Amino acid sequence: MPRSLFVVIFFLFSSVAFAQQKSTSVSSPAAPKIIVGIVIDQMRWDYLYRYNSRYSKGGFKRLMQSGYSFNSTYMPVVPSYTAVGHSTIYTGSVPAITGIVGNNWWEKSIMANMYCTSDSTVQSVGGSDYAGRMSPRNMWATTITDELRLSTNFQSKVIGISLKDRGAILPAGHSANAAYWFDEKEGKMITSSYYMNALPSWVNAFNAKDEPSSLMQNDWNTMYPISTYTQSSKDNNAFESPIPGMSSPVFPYKTSTLTTGKYSSFKYTPFAATYTFDFAKTTIDNEAMGKGKVPDFLAVSVSSTDYVGHSYGPNSIEMEDTYLRLDKDIENFLTYLDGKFGIGNYIVFLTADHGAAHIPAYLNEHKIPAGTYSEFNLEKELNDAIKEKFGIEKAIPNAQNYQVYLDDAAIQKSGKNAGEIKDFIIKLLIAKPYITTAYATAEMYKAIIPESIYSKLVNGFETSRSGDIQFLLKPGYFDGGLKGTTHGLWNPYDTHIPLLFFGWHIRAGNTFRETYMTDIAPTIASLLHIQPPNGCVGKVLVELHQ
């Protein structure tokens, strides 16, 4: 073959191959029909394994075996509360950037307590006045749900669902089509005028069924013989708190007998998780989610696990039964998604907003050091001491989130030295047997704290909303009463959370590489080929792209 002809043929084949490669590289990637984020409020990572032998094949086990599990995922922030967790998951950011420094905080600009989603400029839609006066305006960053809306020119539909307003509103972001939460006074799913002026007819129809009342008629007894709950303590413990309206924390719970405050009590039962998933299915059906040309996003937060956890603690039969029932709810929901969209056509990720500590009294029974104190009493004690030494009335207007807030105006007016007062408070705090260290947040860089804890504290601090003094507790200690438990600290029991990805383009696997809650949003963004949220500091979980 003449050399010139060979060159021409080679050039032609090379041009065709290049054109094909270029065409493939610029074509739009296939996308899932819908992304469903499931946040299980107060789910410790170990619950995936503690109750694993009794889980069904189609619930948690299906997510773990057919999906990808990140087994060493942590919150990189404190305090580890619901609003902080949900906002961190969906923004891929931290309170220092998002402004969501707690469920509540002392707003220094107005010298008043601020709830994370409180918004006096909006009105309740479908429910009682205060319950509905909520919006995402206190959050400063975008969410992955906002970025999906932006990337599709607002064609993607985004809806948030939870019993808790903060569990629905913060994940749904600023530009959501809707967010719905539970009004415990009315027993209905409601929203606010931030989203719409009237509830859709399908929400009214759902509310009219009064499913909470129907579910409560079943009473709450254990799914299996109570003697088989070997992962839990005995049923009747002095350190557990019963469902509101019940006299003792003992099965069976005759929820059918509750009348006054029954909707508030409903939140403390596993039936509330079933209700949440039923509303999620109804939302998908009536909003035709996953039926368009671009992906939609449903953010679901299961709150009942948190209410049960606070009352009964991680080692209770109530908690074990709650997760066995939740496993069935997840199995039913995945089966619904299979039928609605087809296996492999949707993405589900499941995680938690935080964990929880064991009840100190339970730990003490087993010779493990732990305890509680009262932040309210601590605030009073500190104020009394400051008044006696410096003559300033209520120099500390608020103490919460393991921080102390100072009234700068009152201190300045008194003519006393602010630094001297801070040093005095710090000495009083460090003298407490349950406190390991305390420091002025303005001089955080001077604090002698392990690096991993220090970074969580820095991530959780925002000048205008955080306190003037931070203190740390001994492991196993927290602000609380003698019964039940809580969360909020840096410790693994509060910050080690599950993280499972399942569905569209997700291969089976697992890793114990240390990852973070902030990695979820950028990973979803990478899978969808869109920008991460505008305050995102997380990293893409590369295992899902290998």
**Is the separation of the CB atoms in 76 and 494 below 8 Å?**
no
The catalytically annotated residue of 73, 82, 191, 523 is: 82
DSSP 33: S
**Is the separation of the CB atoms in 135 and 174 below 8 Å?**
no
Residues 6+ apart with CB under 8 A from 404: 379, 382, 396, 425, 429, 467, 468, 469, 471
Q: What are phi and psi of 513, to 5 degrees?
A: -60, 135
**Is the separation of the CB atoms in 546 and 103 below 8 Å?**
no
Give, in order, the Cα–Cα distances in Å from 366 to each of 230, 233, 240, 362, 484.
17, 12, 16, 7, 17
Q: Is the dihedral of CA 80, 83, 86, 87 positive or negative?
A: negative
Q: Quote the tokens at residue 73.
A: 């995922």
Pairing of strands 296-302, 104-107: unpaired
User: Which helix (H) or strand (E) is 3 found in, with range?
Assistant: helix 3-26
Closest CA to 239 of 480, 495, 490: 480
DSSP β-bridge partners for residue 435: 473
DSSP β-bridge partners for residue 38: 300, 350
Residue 364, Ramachandran bin (φ over 0: left; ψ between -120 and 50: alpha; else beta): alpha
DSSP 45: T
Residue 401, Ramachandran bin (φ over 0: left; ψ between -120 and 50: alpha; else beta): left
For residue 61, the Cα-to-chain-centroid distance in whole angstroms is 22
**Is the separation of the CB atoms in 424 and 387 below 8 Å?**
no
Residues 6+ apart with CB under 8 A from 537: 92, 93, 94, 97, 518
Closest CA to 530 of 20, 35, 67: 35
DSSP 60: H
Q: Is 283 a catalytic residue?
A: no
Q: For residues 535 and 313, what is the distance between their CA atoms, to the nearest angstrom?
A: 34
Q: Quote the tokens at residue 166.
A: 């903060």
3-state secondary structure of 112: strand
What residues are annotated to the active site? 82
